[in-house]
Chains A and B, each alone.
Chain A
Amino acid sequence: MSIVMKTAKKGEPPKIKLNLSQVWTRLRTDMILYLILAPTIAYFVIFRLLPIIGMRLAFYNYSARGQWTFVGWKYFEMIFKTSAFTDILSNTLIISFMKFVLLFPFFVLFAILLNELRIAGFRKYVQVVSYLPHFLSWVVIAGIWIAALSPSSGAVNQILGIFNLPSIDFMTDKTAIRWILMFSEAWRSIGWDSIFYFTAIIAIPPSLFEAAEIDGANRMNIIRYIILPALVTPMITMFILNLGFFLNAGFDQVLNFSNDAVLSAVDILDTYIYRIGIQNAQYSLSTAVSLIKGVVGVFLVLLTHLISKKITGKGVW
């Protein structure tokens, strides 16, 4: 997510009005540039734009060889008639809420604590370890977590055992599994995502801290009156950015942490699209769900872009 933040626009070159013959000369001199760009544009047209156009399948019956037959809103009506869709939508929103809303104060806290840590070597150790899980695939993370949560040989149940608590089979427990999703997200991202806030803290001018210390402020005062205010803008930015991705809820993660026992608690839009589309080959129905998700998603991103511009003066891009 921090990637997006680095994209604040730099000064655009001044606009010059051109007449047609000048346009032609410029196009000719720029021809080589367009040729260099052509493969990239071709990629986006073939693998992104054509599938987007192909989303009209949501209004048609699919046929591998012959013509697709137009059926209008049939598949959308089908979606809204089934109770499955409401469950999936609410799963998506709940899981997104847990990950984006409940979790994010901890990312901020992690950055603040890391900044308070003065022992340079230990701080570096914390960074090296905590940034690493971000680079592991969800398959690997799921493998590690399944081992750690195993009722027979996992670390977590072993610790529960020390306190005489009964062991829990977390991976097949419907109430536990969403928390597992949240904690595994934290496990993977707490280091890497806190970089965004940490950068904001180290950008605070040192003179502010010196002045505060001369005034006799202790660390708590400094966190409360200098560091937290400096984090407000990044927090708002991150918060609304996440809002734009609310319907995603983390496909790769959910796919790897779900199993038949808990599916009803973690089935999200993207897993549903995959299951009915690829596994059950209900192409049109799946595309209709994709289309709803895509349109709402773009709407959310544009909305957050506008809100972000209004509150922080900075857009999402």
Chain B
Amino acid sequence: MKKYKKLSLGQILLMLILGAVTLTMIIPMLNILARSLSSPEASVNMGGLEILPRDFDLINYRIVFNHPALMSAFWNSIIVTIVGTAINIILTTTAAYVLTRPNLMFKRAIMIFLIFMMLFEPGLVPEYLIVQKLGLMGSKWSVILVTAVNVYYLIIMMRYFEEIPASIFEAATLDGAGHLRMLFSIVFPLSKAGMATITMFYAVLRWNEYFRASIYLIKAKDTLLQVVLRQFVVLGDTASIVGQQNLFNYNDLARIDYTALKGATIIVAIIPVLLLYPIVLKYYAKDVMGGGIKE
């Protein structure tokens, strides 16, 4: 196909339209970043379209990173994300491996069971009662275990595993390789893109988890960052974040601009996602991001 190199009127129009769409995404985020990096005295007067900090100051981040409640929630989120994603990956890959073995008995029945489990959502209350009955209430295991396997991701993983040629497995069987060795020395190395994609998807889900954390992790010390973020930013509950006594303890807090502090908290919650994002682009979106049109 012919490449259009010249900057025609149509191309300029397209750039303007698509550029405008991206600006609606970028400006609000940069505005929050700019506010959070400004001194409170300057940020209170900032408008919504400003994307550069005024009077650069790290005070908001100093408060966030020194705040006991925010930091404990931050580390809890890190732990839940790491342990949770590890469990997700172990269960999803092993199950996908088993379910892609040819001639496995009851494979169809198991798949029907899994798809039904995916389609029929159990009610919130019955799930809540099970968590309670298992004694997981208030434990990080509640949040980690309740979402241990995602059927969609399991099926995607299976598609990746199915692409491995059967002859490789046959050769390995002849060499006397058991299932576990097969999994570690053939399946994993040969489906790196799939593993990376699924890991990223799970990790993002884990990091963004807030609803179940808000109902199962009842004590403030166990809670996750997204829950605190919601309380502070969405519900505007500043008192719970900045307790009365804290106001006297910190000099910083006395002169704070809450909008900017909320912004800093949002940025801290976005950063891990930004760190994972390039991997998603590299592995999952690579087909559509090849630059030009495929010839």
Contact = CB atoms under 8 A, between A and B. Distances in A.
A binds B: yes
A154 interface: yes
A190 B121 CA distance: 26
Contact of A54 (B114, B129, B178, B262): B129
B281 A290 contact: no
Contacts of A120: 291-292
Contacts of A283: 125, 129
A195 B49 contact: no
B101 A127 contact: no
B244 to A, nearest CB: 24
A113 B28 contact: no
B105 A30 contact: yes
B18 A36 contact: no
B48 A156 contact: yes
B199 to A, nearest CB: 14
B125 A287 contact: yes
B208 to A, nearest CB: 3
Contacts, number: 284
Interface residues of A, number: 106
B15 A122 contact: yes
A297 B273 contact: no
Interface stretch (B54-62, B63-71, B227-235, B245-253): B227-235
Contacts of B270: 136, 140
B122 A55 contact: yes
Interface residues of B, number: 103
B29 A144 contact: yes
Interface string B21-38: 110111111011000000
Nearest to B17: A113
A287 B28 contact: no
Contact of B94 (A26, A37, A132, A138): A37
Chain A interface, >50% SS class: helix
Contacts of B156: 3, 6-7
Contact of A119 (B11, B32, B126, B280): B11
A129 B130 CA distance: 41
A196 to B, nearest CB: 10
Interface string A93-131: 000000000000000001001111111101111111111
B139 to A, nearest CB: 14
Chain B interface, >50% SS class: helix
A116 B117 contact: no
Contacts of A128: 281
A4 interface: yes
A282 to B, nearest CB: 9
A144 B126 contact: no
A147 B232 CA distance: 13
Interface stretch (A39-47, A80-88, A233-241): A39-47
A150 B21 CA distance: 20
Contact of A50 (B1, B130, B154): B130
A145 B25 CA distance: 10
Interface of A: 3-4, 6-7, 10, 13, 16, 23, 26-27, 30, 32-34, 36-37, 39-41, 43-44, 46-55, 57, 110, 113-120, 122-133, 135-140, 142-148, 150, 153-159, 187, 190, 195, 198-199, 202, 206, 209-210, 213, 219, 251-252, 255-256, 270, 273-274, 277-278, 283, 286-287, 289-291, 293-294, 297-298, 301, 317
Closest 3 CB pairs of A and B: A290-B123, A155-B48, A51-B122
13 contacts: A6-B155, A120-B292, A124-B289, A128-B281, A130-B25, A139-B233, A139-B234, A144-B29, A148-B48, A187-B24, A251-B211, A252-B211, A287-B125
Given A139-B233, A147-B263, 11 more contacts: A16-B103, A44-B117, A48-B122, A54-B123, A55-B126, A57-B125, A132-B25, A142-B234, A147-B32, A155-B48, A274-B124
